Amino acid sequence: MDSAFAEVPGYRRILGRLSPAALLRQFGSEYWTFFAAAFLFDLGFGLFFFLFNLYLTDLHFDERAVGRITACLTLGNVAGTIPATILARRFGLRPLLLLCFVCAPIFSAVRLVASGESGQIVIALVTGAVLCCWPICFSPTIAALTNDRNRTRGFSIMFATGIGVGTLSGAMGGYVPELLHEGRLHTPVVAGIGIVLLIACGLVVMGAWPILKLRLTQRLPPRGHRSRVFHPFLRRFLPPFLLWNVVTGSFPAFGAIYLQQVLKISLGRIGLVFSASQLMEFVAVIASPALIRRAGLTRGIAISLFGTAIALAMIGITRQATVAVGLYVVYYALMFMCEPGIYNLLMDRIPEEERSTASAVQNLSGALCQAATAAATGSCIVRFGYGAVLFSNAVAAVSAALLFLALATRAASNTMRASPDSLHEAPQSTL
């Protein structure tokens, strides 16, 4: 195979840059240390959240109670954002990461023994407040551990690994409790789920060890510097970002219902569709840096969003289940293909000392937007049907793409610092 492509221009050079050894050299040891911590965090909490609602239903909590408990977790995440941001600016990123890796799994374990709905609600609020530290610190940490030339690939690797780990968590969550039930332990299913949930919490705690090894520093604002809640770029970034959150928070929440009730696909096949969409999302996120390198950062984001809009419109038009399933998988991949670029765009244009604040505002606004969008989408589906929702999502995706392109136009007229893979819209030759 290698000899067949030996004469292709740049073939060996491209393979060399994509090799594991080249990737290890491209990023410093600190990046891979944080990668190990993020892997354990994604695996532990992916497993926990996959199984916890099932654990509650096995304890005879009904769907209404489960919904209230889940909503309180989100509410705690929103409420904790501002205090966590203040702590990040005062003490830096590493202490906040340690707080998240130690306290969040402890509170999650307490949720396994909390009695009654009121107890579950209180612990969910506290757990959500601590969990907000992760999205606040995640982007600034990657930005601090990468440079202008490899930042997009750094985000891409992290997001793609998170997707893959999420798929692994789902497989483990479905298999391990049954193994404990049918194996030598012969534990009840609910007890087996509880054991797996405790293991998941332990995996997250293990992630604190790599965090301790980080020599991560976060520059605080200089003396006399007035902290800004909204950096000027953030005011222009949030409108397209919120429109993108409308797209990600609307139809995906009802995708399984659409496949089953509208397209009449069996539950077993729906599982295969979601597995395929996860796989395609993984491939799309990995390919994101190549698209951005060729088209530029903002144009690469816009291309992904335009493709998402086309796929949404086609899903709304087609009535053939097989075609709709293929379009759904493509739509899901394109929708998240722009994710590394979007997060890189914000971190690249914000000064280091203001990144934690910008990340907090991004997390808070995105969470509120998605929560409101999911609620509104449900009402719209009942009143207008799925077709209207799909075409509305397509319009939102096109609008977000145009606003992201407008960011590039405005940046070209400013005297901001240029970086090779963000402000330069010309194709880049490096990975």
Q: Please check whether residues 239 and 201 belong to one and the same domain.
A: no
Q: Please check whether residues 247 and 394 belong to one and the same domain.
A: yes
**Has residue 222 been placed in a domain?**
no
Q: Are 367 and 78 in contact (CB under 8 A)?
A: yes
Q: Please check whether residues 401 and 313 belong to one and the same domain.
A: yes
**pLDDT at residue number 404:** 93
Q: Please check whether residues 195 and 313 belong to one and the same domain.
A: no
Interacting residues of 384 by C-beta distance below 8 A, sequence separation 6+:
none
Q: Please check whether residues 131 and 78 belong to one and the same domain.
A: yes
Provide the residue range defining the domain that includes 203. Answer: 25-215
Q: Are 190 and 55 in contact (CB under 8 A)?
A: yes
Q: Are 423 and 311 in contact (CB under 8 A)?
A: no
Q: Are 313 and 264 in contact (CB under 8 A)?
A: no
Q: Please check whether residues 52 and 104 belong to one and the same domain.
A: yes
Global pTM reads 0.66
**pLDDT at residue number 58:** 75
Q: Are 299 and 338 in contact (CB under 8 A)?
A: no
Of 215, 244, 262, the domain-final residue: 215
**Has residue 262 been placed in a domain?**
yes
**Has residue 220 been placed in a domain?**
no
Positions of the chain with pLDDT lower than 50, given as ranges: 1-11, 14-16, 219-220, 222-224, 413, 415-431
252: tokens are: 């995906």
**pLDDT at residue number 367:** 78
Each residue of 410-424: b (16+ CB within 10 Å) or e?
ebeeeeeeebbbbbe
Q: Are 396 and 246 in contact (CB under 8 A)?
A: yes
Q: Please check whether residues 254 and 389 belong to one and the same domain.
A: yes
Give the number of other CB atoms < 10 A from CB of residue 162.
19
**Has residue 236 been placed in a domain?**
yes
Interacting residues of 272 by C-beta distance below 8 A, sequence separation 6+:
none
CA distances 31 to 109, 201, 293, Å, are 29, 23, 21
Cα–Cα distance measured from residue 125 to residue 131, given in angstroms and rounded to the nearest whole number: 10
261: tokens are: 């009730």
Residue 121 is part of a domain; what is its CATH number?
Answer: 1.20.1250.20
**Has residue 17 been placed in a domain?**
no
Cα–Cα distance measured from residue 109 to residue 80, given in angstroms and rounded to the nearest whole number: 19
16: tokens are: 């060399």
Cα–Cα distance measured from residue 375 to residue 367, given in angstroms and rounded to the nearest whole number: 13
Nearest Cα neighbor of 27 from 149, 112, 131, 114 is: 149
Q: Are 289 and 431 in contact (CB under 8 A)?
A: yes
Q: Please check whether residues 188 and 305 belong to one and the same domain.
A: no
Give the number of other CB atoms < 10 A from CB of residue 264.
8
Give the number of other CB atoms < 10 A from CB of residue 198.
15
**Has residue 40 been placed in a domain?**
yes
In the chain, the number of structural domains is 2
**Has residue 10 been placed in a domain?**
no
**pLDDT at residue number 243:** 94
**pLDDT at residue number 415:** 37
**Has residue 11 been placed in a domain?**
no
Of 215, 241, 275, the domain-final residue: 215
C-alpha angle 88-99-154 in degrees, rounded to nearest 5: 65
Q: Please check whether residues 266 and 234 belong to one and the same domain.
A: yes
Report how many helices (DSSP H) and strands (DSSP E) the chain contains, helices first: 19, 0
Interacting residues of 77 by C-beta distance below 8 A, sequence separation 6+:
128, 129, 131, 132, 367
Q: Please check whether residues 196 and 54 belong to one and the same domain.
A: yes
**pLDDT at residue number 168:** 75
Q: Please check whether residues 160 and 262 belong to one and the same domain.
A: no
**pLDDT at residue number 7:** 46
Interacting residues of 60 by C-beta distance below 8 A, sequence separation 6+:
none
The amino acid sitting at 265 is: I
71: tokens are: 């909503």
Q: Please check whether residues 84 and 202 belong to one and the same domain.
A: yes
Of 191, 215, 239, the domain-final residue: 215
